[in-house]
Amino acid sequence: MSRVYNFSAGPSMLPVEVLQQAENELLNWRNSGMSVMEMSHRGKQFSTIAEQLEADLRGLLAVPENYKVLFLQGGATAQFAMIPQNLLADSSKACYVNTGAWSAKAIKEAKKYCEVIISASSEADNFTSIPDPDGWLVDAQSAYLHYTPNETIHGVEFHEVPSVAVPLVADMSSNILSRPVDIEKFALIYAGSQKNMGPAGVTVVIVREDLINQPAATIPSIFSYVQQAANQSMLNTPPTYNWYLLGLMLQWLKNQGGLAAIEKINISKSAALYQAIDQSALYSNPVQTSCRSRMNVPFILSQTELDGVFLQEAEKNALVTLKGHRSVGGMRASIYNAMPEQGVQALIQFMAEFERTH
């Protein structure tokens, strides 16, 4: 069977070149006589892979020297709890901006550890906008302010980094590596791997090293940034094969020309899709144009009774996983870095043809 264009929000499509390289090296990595899966994480060969991985991520994101780069487990969800446990230090408060379903989950978890101040919320307009940062309530005693630069379900993305007076923490799960970012504006960024960085199983955390020295006294060692940093993220056995696949993804990104180059492609892919939606009478996207996501494009059909047929016919055209999240309904096309421009064009053509025939 030939490959399909998979619009899943995650785990999502991987570049075919990456899959092919993994296939070529599956049994025998660079004449080692072993699969990467079989290597000891403390051995010389795997150390080469791990060092290259960190160097490539630092290079792509231009991570300054005074930031630690960690490769952890537990997904972004584990970070919802680890961030307060590691960053609160002497404070008992943290600020959170609520722009959708993922912010809400981070808030719910943080409430177990501290007083949460909701700095701003777009709940009143169903999470279709971003509250103006000039009006955010930022408590100077807060250990940090947490926000979600890209809301995967609602399709809302910050196109500027907000400037706040306390350390800034960002859940970049669904837009990391999709554009250049100035790491120095952040205290911490984190992201699960299953969207722009490979299969599920690795969580990247990039954190300013001076902020991690006072974790909660009861924190399990495995959740402690300072301990993980001191052990090169190998406090226990890491998911070695996933680290290797993440490394292949980073090399692929470098070959695309890095983040500035991939950003241009992401702008062009998403602009084409939004234009197709805006020009049609059948499809619509509710998000304010200034904060539409380049990664996750939700859209609804004005005739919801056509939803099922739309999905069935899309699948016949090799366009799969377009069903929207159950909480918002409709459709969602996730178009991360690995979605080729041809995939987006194929979707646009299908949507036009579907509208014409229904």
Stretch that binds ligand PMP, among 72-80, 88-96, 111-119, 303-311 (CB under 6 A): 72-80
Sign of CA dihedral 67, 73, 79, 85: negative
Which range touches ligand PMP (CB under 6 A), out of 54-62, 169-177, 210-218, 247-255?
A: 169-177
Q: Which of 29, 56, 171, 252 is catalytic?
A: 171
Q: Give all strands of the β-sheet with 283-284 in edge-to-edge order.
A: 283-284, 296-301, 331-334
Which one of residues 18, 53, 70, 76 is an interface residue with ligand PMP (CB under 6 A)?
76
Q: Which residue is nearest to ligand PMP (CB)?
A: 75
Q: Which listed residue (195, 243, 252, 269) is catalytic?
A: 195
Number of helical (H) and strand (E) elements in the chain, helices listed first: 9, 14
CB environment 147-185: b (16+ within 10 A), e (fewer): bbbbbbbbbbbbeeebebebbbbbbbbbbbbbbebebee
Q: Which stretch binds ligand PMP (CB under 6 A): 133-141, 170-178, 248-256, 318-326?
A: 170-178
* Active-site residue flag, 195: yes
The three-state secondary structure class of 68 is strand
Query: Residue 334's closest CA among 150, 171, 202?
Result: 150
Scan residues 128-157 and list those touching ligand PMP (CB under 6 A): 148, 152
Nearer to ligand PMP, 5 or 102 (CB): 102
At its nearest, how many Å lie between ligand PMP and the CB of residue 189?
12
φ/ψ of residue 41, rounded to 5: -70, -15
**Is 254 a known active-site residue?**
no
Contact call for residue 109 and ligand PMP (CB under 6 A) = no
CB of 194 to ligand PMP, least distance (A): 6
Considering the complex, state which of residue 194 and residue 240 has its C-beta at the smaller distance from ligand PMP.
Answer: 194
192 binds ligand PMP (CB under 6 A): yes
CB 337 to ligand PMP: min, Å: 15
Is residue 7 close enough to count as binding ligand PMP by CB under 6 A? no
Work out whether strand 5-6 and strand 67-72 pair parallel, antiparallel, or are unpaired: unpaired
Based on the shown chain and the rule CB under 6 A, indicate whether residue 75 belongs to the binding site for ligand PMP. yes
Q: Are 5 and 12 in contact (CB under 8 A)?
A: no
Closest CA to 243 of 100, 97, 71: 71
Question: Around Cβ 14, how many Cβ atoms within 10 Å?
Answer: 21
Closer CB to ligand PMP, 76 or 277, in the complex: 76
Closest to ligand PMP by CB, 175 vs 348, is 175
Displacement of CA 83 from its chain's centroid (Å): 17
257: left (phi over 0), alpha (psi -120 to 50) or beta: left
Looking at the Cβ atoms of 12 and 285, the one nearer to ligand PMP is 12
- Could you give the residue numbers annotated as active site? 102, 171, 195
Interacting residues with ligand PMP (CB under 6 A): 9-10, 75-77, 102, 148, 152, 171, 173-174, 192
